[in-house]
Structure 1
Amino acid sequence: MAMRLVLVFLLSALLPFSLSQVRDPLAWLYTRQSPGYYFGSVQALTAAGGDCPEECDCPPTFPVAMYCDGRGLTAMPTVPSRIKYLYLQNNAITAVPDSALVNATNLVWLMMHHNQLRSDAIGMKVFLKLEGLERLYLQHNNLTSIPPNLPRSLRDLRINHNHIEKVTPADLEGMDNLTILYLHDNAVSDIGASLKALKSLTLLDISGNKLAKVPDALPEHLHQLYLESNSIDSLPEGFLGGFTQLQYVRMAHNQLTDKGIPPNTFNVTGLVELDLSFNKLERIPIVSTTLQHLYLQANQIKEFTLGSFCSIVDVTNFSKLRTLRLDGNEINRQDIPSESALCLRQASSIEV
């Protein structure tokens, strides 16, 4: 009976709490702070012959994982060759020498966010033999550049909240499998065409940087593009025309003006959400009738132009817009023409 209770406890502890309520479905992996939160009581029962470092937990119920998160570590522990999932987040590790992962060639996930890693303290050969690594989390460190020789097997790279100033083509060369790239909250001012070769990339977040323009030659299969909180004042001609699957574009907190946006830039089918709030727009840009959510709050818009949403209004031609935010501009509800009820017949929320 006692053994059954222990097993029930362990199984329930493995399940993340309220996954459906967090934006990132993997957030539960890196929000645990206290040592041994899940497996502290079973470290001594390691099923792999006692090769688990003393400062970590290696549960017999999950023998390919090693939990070293939130242990106050300042250096890398020894990693057994059987480990596939390595959790080192929330420590004070400053360096990853070439020898640190020499035995850990089977790694699939490496979680090292919320440490004190420096770029000059990461060995040139650390990642060379990690040919199956899929997730690498390095956010919230002290990195000034993307580490060299990253595995081409990577699918999810999170390197946000560091001090990276530049991204070069060599940094991401050959990463044909990469689908998620978080680069936000760095100091990037230059990307050039470094991202063009990422042919599988679907989510790119480069908000909170020092970009003065939209990066050249973005991957064509992007599904989500986040460019908030930069210094972008204009968009290139045909900005969205080359994307085949793009649905979410967020460019809030930039310096966009009417003059800097070519006509019909946002009049593209497929777009679901467009956020242009906190810019310097004086007019509502023309958007596609298929757009569902448009955020324009905190601009300098002076009139409600119904033609921005509908060029023709009849039984079959109307906007699919559900959410429209215009609060914080220079218009009020009296400026909305009465015929807008036909054009915006699906809108459940219009804020002015």
Structure 2
Amino acid sequence: MATAIYFIIWVLLITDMVWTRSVRQVNEPDDWTVGDFDCPRECFCPPSFPTALYCENRGLKEIPAIPSRIWYLYLENNLIETIPEKPFENATQLRWINLNKNKITNYGIEKGALSQLKKLLFLFLEDNELEEVPSPLPRSLEQLQLARNKVSRIPQGTFSNLENLTLLDLQHNKLLDNAFQRDTFKGLKNLMQLNMAKNSLKNMPPRLPANTMQLFLDNNSIEGIPENYFNVIPKVAFLRLNHNKLSDAGLPSSGFDVSSILDLQLSHNRLTKVPRISAHLQHLHLDHNKIKSVNVSVICPTPSALPEEQDLFSYGPRLSYLRLDGNEIKPPIPMDLMTCFRLLQAVIINHIANCSLPPFSIVQLISSI
């Protein structure tokens, strides 16, 4: 139960951090003056939301002068190529900038244009023409979204002063293994979510921030995971490695027997057997590998000593969801699978038909679609 509560709390925490500041409206007397509704003619300034400036979908090629009262700036889906300092001279209160779907390059970002925004929390630069992570950035930044650019380089020291950053999204770029040095992520003391899916990595990125809880590496070409790799990220709870080239030989000797991991996704790899897992794991995705059988004696976590008058339902393995479709496994499911994982609620295997379940099991057998 404690693990389930831990799982829910962290999901809610991530969700809250992503959205809370995006919807709140704070009208503080110190931030703007009553009647101060100067508005760039290219944009829309809703009287009911005086701290927001909407300039999206207007074919803009330049960023207009931003009034001092603005907290939330929406500039997505335009033709903007540059980010100069001048438009932001008075925008000392900015918390949120959305510049997604423009034509911004690294050469177009004037040095100091972003770092001067001392209160900026959220920066969205998705779907642009960036070839490296922009720098310098304000120390206050909490989220940096750079998905779907052309990023292949991370200059040394880029993250050195971003101790407040909690989310870094670099998915769907052009990152190779040589983009990372051992100190690339140094400084990201509070990073919780790192997304590097859909790049060209062959190896796991080195020396990740210790507080990383969500690590997404889907759709790369990763072949192996170094021994003791997870020792440096002892809080990782959500690990996604779908659509890679992982084989049995490429996994650590202990597999994924990592007590912090609650959700593990290894779909579309080259595994021939189920890896070792922790008793704390709740969701396991192994579909579309080359697994032929399930050796429960190997994968069943060894239960720790139970307190008096307690049983496996309270202190045994926590696995509740297991996906195995797209492999070479034939029914029936081994009886000892349910004996080990007594909290299983769903097991997905190919072509299930007329399989009877033991009376103690609450497993729902689901045929793949």
Q: Give your verdict on TM over 0.5.
A: yes
Structure 2 counterparts to residues 132-147 of structure 1, below 5 A: 132-147=119-134
Letter in 2 for 1:252: N
Counterpart of 1:245 in structure 2 is 235
Counterpart of 1:199 in structure 2 is 189
Q: SS of the counterpart of 1:120?
A: helix
Cα RMSD (Å): 2.4
- Cα offset, 1:26, TM superposition: 4.1
Structure 2 counterparts to residues 337-352 of structure 1, below 5 A: 337-352=334-349
Gaps of 5+ in 2: 1-14, 24-32, 350-369
1:227 to 191, 199, 217: 217
Counterpart of 1:76 in structure 2 is 63
CA–CA separation in structure 2 for the residues paired with 1:62 and 1:163:
35
Compared with structure 1, are the counterparts of its residues 195 and 91 closer, same or farther at alpha carbon in structure 2 (3 Å cutoff)?
Answer: same
Compared with structure 1, are the counterparts of its residues 332 and 23 closer, same or farther at alpha carbon in structure 2 (3 Å cutoff)?
Answer: farther
CA–CA separation in structure 2 for the residues paired with 1:290 and 1:49:
55
Compared with structure 1, are the counterparts of its residues 329 and 27 closer, same or farther at alpha carbon in structure 2 (3 Å cutoff)?
Answer: farther
Within the alignment, does 1:274 sit opposite 2:276 as a pair? no
Structure 2 counterparts to residues 1-352 of structure 1, below 5 A: 26=19, 48-49=35-36, 51-189=38-176, 190-193=179-182, 194-312=184-302, 315-316=311-312, 318-334=316-332, 336-352=333-349
CA–CA separation in structure 2 for the residues paired with 1:64 and 1:109:
11
- Cα offset, 1:174, TM superposition: 0.7
- Cα offset, 1:307, TM superposition: 2.6
- Cα offset, 1:64, TM superposition: 1.9
- Cα offset, 1:168, TM superposition: 2.9
Letter in 2 for 1:229: N
Offset from partner CA, 1:78-112 (integer Å, 9 cap, x none): 11122221111122212112323222122111111
- Overall identity of the aligned pairs, in %: 36
- Cα offset, 1:217, TM superposition: 0.6
CA–CA separation in structure 2 for the residues paired with 1:156 and 1:289:
32
- Cα offset, 1:188, TM superposition: 0.8
- Cα offset, 1:268, TM superposition: 1.3
User: Contact 1:168/1:191 (CA < 8 Å) preserved in 2?
Assistant: no
Compared with structure 1, are the counterparts of its residues 165 and 120 closer, same or farther at alpha carbon in structure 2 (3 Å cutoff)?
Answer: same
CA–CA separation in structure 2 for the residues paired with 1:221 and 1:245:
6
- Cα offset, 1:61, TM superposition: 2.3
Compared with structure 1, are the counterparts of its residues 337 and 214 closer, same or farther at alpha carbon in structure 2 (3 Å cutoff)?
Answer: same
Compared with structure 1, are the counterparts of its residues 238 and 291 closer, same or farther at alpha carbon in structure 2 (3 Å cutoff)?
Answer: same
CA–CA separation in structure 1 for the residues paired with 2:94 and 2:227:
43
Q: SS of the counterpart of 2:157?
A: helix
User: Contact 2:277/2:301 (CA < 8 Å) preserved in 1?
Assistant: no
User: Contact 1:79/1:101 (CA < 8 Å) preserved in 2?
Assistant: yes
Counterpart of 1:38 in structure 2 is none
CA–CA separation in structure 1 for the residues paired with 2:35 and 2:137:
29
- Cα offset, 1:166, TM superposition: 1.6
CA–CA separation in structure 2 for the residues paired with 1:294 and 1:165:
31
Counterpart of 1:36 in structure 2 is none
Q: SS of the counterpart of 2:232?
A: coil
Compared with structure 1, are the counterparts of its residues 291 and 208 closer, same or farther at alpha carbon in structure 2 (3 Å cutoff)?
Answer: same
User: Contact 2:259/2:278 (CA < 8 Å) preserved in 1?
Assistant: yes
Compared with structure 1, are the counterparts of its residues 49 and 70 closer, same or farther at alpha carbon in structure 2 (3 Å cutoff)?
Answer: same
User: Contact 2:79/2:103 (CA < 8 Å) preserved in 1?
Assistant: yes
Gaps of 5+ in 1: 1-21, 31-45
Compared with structure 1, are the counterparts of its residues 28 and 72 closer, same or farther at alpha carbon in structure 2 (3 Å cutoff)?
Answer: farther
- Report the TM-score, using the length of structure 1 for normalisation: 0.84
- Cα offset, 1:24, TM superposition: 9.9
CA–CA separation in structure 2 for the residues paired with 1:311 and 1:54:
64
Q: SS of the counterpart of 1:253?
A: coil
CA–CA separation in structure 2 for the residues paired with 1:276 and 1:308:
18
CA–CA separation in structure 1 for the residues paired with 2:16 and 2:267:
21
User: Contact 1:58/1:66 (CA < 8 Å) preserved in 2?
Assistant: yes
Compared with structure 1, are the counterparts of its residues 188 and 262 closer, same or farther at alpha carbon in structure 2 (3 Å cutoff)?
Answer: same
Offset from partner CA, 1:282-315 (integer Å, 9 cap, x none): 1110001110100001111122110343255794
Compared with structure 1, are the counterparts of its residues 175 and 27 closer, same or farther at alpha carbon in structure 2 (3 Å cutoff)?
Answer: closer
Moved more, 100-109 or 250-259: 100-109
User: Contact 1:70/1:89 (CA < 8 Å) preserved in 2?
Assistant: yes
Q: SS of the counterpart of 1:77?
A: coil
Q: SS of the counterpart of 1:83?
A: coil
User: Contact 1:239/1:265 (CA < 8 Å) preserved in 2?
Assistant: no
CA–CA separation in structure 2 for the residues paired with 1:339 and 1:23:
40
